C-alpha cells in the first residue's frame, strides 16, 4: 500500500531523511518511532505531498505523490501533529467542509458524517463550536474527518500528544477497530512506546534520518536483547538527548501555547 525506496530530503546542509526504504502492506498498522528531529514528520510530509523529496521514490496505493498529487491525496486521510480544525466553525461544519473539499456527494457526505461522528461519540455535540471541544474530542473529530472520504490509508502524526491516558486509550481502540472493520492501512508516529507496541503490527525505528531497525515489537526486542520495546529503542538510538534547533514552527507553537489556542 505504501512503498518507499531510497527516499532522501535535505534542507541545506542537513539531511532530514537519509536514504530510507520501507513497505507497508494493505491493512497493516505501521509505526514510526524515533527521537525528536529524527525525520518522522518530514517523511509523512513527503508522503502526503506537503514536501517534495530531494531524491528517491514513493508510491501510495500505486500513485506517486510527486507526479500525481491530486489523485494521491484522495487516497489518504491525515491527522497532523498540530491541530488543523477550524475552531470557529461547528464540528458538523468542519466535517461538511472536508466532504466538499474531497468531492464527496452531498447525500453520502451526510450519511458518513453521521456514522463517523456517532462512532467517535461526537454526534451529540455536532453543533458545538470546535473551540469548545476538549483536546481529546478535537483529536477524535480530526480522525473522524480524515476518514470521511473513505481513504485507504490513514496517517497519524503523533496523534496522542498532549492527551490524557483515557483519551489516548480510547483513541487507539478506535483506530484498531477501524483497521479491523474497514481494513484501513494505518501509518503512525508516536513517542509512546507502549502505544506502538499495543497498536502496531510492525515498527520501524528511525534516527538521524535513517531507519536503524524494523520489524515486529518482538523481533526488535530479540535483536537488541532488551526486555521492553523502550529498552530496544534506547539500545538502538542511544541515550543522548537531541537538541534540535528551534525552527519557526516551534516559535509559533510557543506563541500558540501562550495564547492557549
The order of strands in the sheet holding 55-60 is 14-24, 2-11, 55-60
Residue of the chain from 14, 25, 101, 108 that contacts another protein (CB under 8 A): 101
Among residues 38 and 130, whose Cβ is nearest to another protein? 130
Span interacting with another protein, options 92-100, 169-177, 182-190, 196-204, rule CB under 8 A? 92-100
CA distance readout (Å), 205 to 32, 80, 255: 6, 20, 31
* Contact indicator for 87, 129 with CB cutoff of 8 Å: yes
Among the residue ranges 23-31, 86-94, 117-125, 207-215, the one whose residues contact another protein (CB under 8 A): 86-94
Q: What's the CA gap between 82 and 166, in Å, rounded?
A: 20
**Three-state DSSP class for residue 185:** strand
Instruction: Tell me: does residue 83 bind another protein (CB under 8 A).
Output: yes
Please give the size of the binding site for another protein, defined by CB under 8 A.
Answer: 36
| Listed ranges 94-102, 167-175, 185-193, 215-223: which one lies at the site for another protein (CB under 8 A) | 94-102
C-alpha cell at 248: 519557526
Residue 249 touches another protein, criterion: CB under 8 A: yes
82 in contact with another protein (CB under 8 A): yes
Q: Does 98 bind another protein (CB under 8 A)?
A: yes
| Sole binder of another protein in the list 43, 51, 160, 179 (CB under 8 A) | 51
Other Cβ atoms less than 10 A from the Cβ of 77: the count is 25
Assess contact for 168 and 141: CB atoms under 8 A.
no
Interaction of residue 66 with another protein, rule CB under 8 A: no
- Angstrom distance (rounded) from CA 11 to CA 37: 13
* 197-203: long-range contacts, CB 8 A cutoff, minimum separation 24: 197/229, 198/172, 199/29, 199/31, 199/172, 199/175, 200/29, 200/30, 200/31, 201/28, 201/29, 201/30, 202/24, 202/28, 202/29, 202/30, 202/31, 203/30, 203/31, 203/32, 203/33, 203/229
| Interface segment toward another protein; rule CB under 8 A; list 17-25, 223-231, 236-244, 246-254 | 246-254
Residue 137: all three cell numbers together: 474530542
**Residue from 10, 19, 97, 125 binding another protein (CB under 8 A):** 97
Determine the interface stretch with another protein among 42-50, 111-119, 195-203, 232-240 (rule: CB under 8 A): 42-50
Burial class (CB in 10 A: 0-12, 13-18, 19+), 41: buried
The interface region with another protein, picked from 15-23, 67-75, 213-221, 228-236 by CB under 8 A, is: 67-75
Tell me, residue by residue from 137 to 176, as one string, x for binding to another protein by CB under 8 A and - for no binding.
Answer: --------x-------------------------------
Binding of another protein by 20 (CB under 8 A): no
Can residue 50 be called a binding residue for another protein (CB under 8 A)?
A: yes
For binding to another protein (CB under 8 A), which residues are involved? 45, 48-52, 70-71, 73-74, 76, 78, 80, 82-86, 88-89, 93, 97-98, 100-103, 145, 248-249, 251-253, 255-256, 261
Amino acid at each position: 500500500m505504501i512503498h518507499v525506496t531510497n527516499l532522501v530530503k535535505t534542507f541545506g546542509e542537513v539531511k532530514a531523511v537519509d536514504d530510507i526504504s520501507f513497505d507497508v502492506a494493505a491493512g497493516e498498522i505501521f509505526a514510526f518511532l524515533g527521537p525528536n528531529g529524527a525525520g518522522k514528520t518530514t517523511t509523512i510530509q513527503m508522503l502526503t505531498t506537503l514536501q517534495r523529496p530531494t531524491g528517491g521514490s514513493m508510491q501510495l496505493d500505486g500513485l506517486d505523490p510527486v507526479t500525481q498529487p491530486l489523485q494521491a491525496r484522495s487516497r489518504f486521510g491525515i491527522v497532523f501533529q498540530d491541530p488543523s480544525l477550524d475552531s470557529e466553525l461547528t464540528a458538523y461544519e468542519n466535517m461538511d467542509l472536508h466532504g466538499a473539499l474531497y468531492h464527496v456527494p452531498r447525500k453520502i457526505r451526510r450519511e458518513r458524517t453521521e456514522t463517523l461522528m456517532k462512532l467517535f461519540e461526537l454526534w451529540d455535540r455536532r453543533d458545538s463550536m470546535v473551540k469548545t471541544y476538549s483536546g481529546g474530542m478535537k483529536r477524535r473529530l480530526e480522525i473522524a474527518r480524515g476518514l470521511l472520504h473513505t481513504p485507504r490509508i490513514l496517517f497519524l502524526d503523533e496523534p496522542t500528544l498532549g492527551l490524557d491516558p483515557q483519551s489516548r486509550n480510547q483513541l487507539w481502540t478506535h483506530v484498531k477497530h477501524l483497521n479491523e472493520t474497514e481494513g484501513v492501512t494505518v501509518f503512525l508516529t508516536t513517542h509512546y512506546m507502549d502505544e506502538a507496541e499495543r497498536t502496531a503490527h510492525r515498527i520501524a525505528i528511525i534516527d538521524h534520518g535513517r531507519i536503524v531497525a524494523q520489524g515486529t515489537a518482538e523481533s526488535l526486542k530479540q535483536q537488541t536483547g532488551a526486555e521492553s520495546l523502550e529498552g530496544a529503542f534506547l539500545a538502538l538510538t542511544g541515550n543522548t538527548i537531541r537538541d534540535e534547533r528551534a525552527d519557526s514552527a516551534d516559535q509559533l507553537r510557543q506563541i500558540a501555547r501562550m495564547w492557549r489556542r
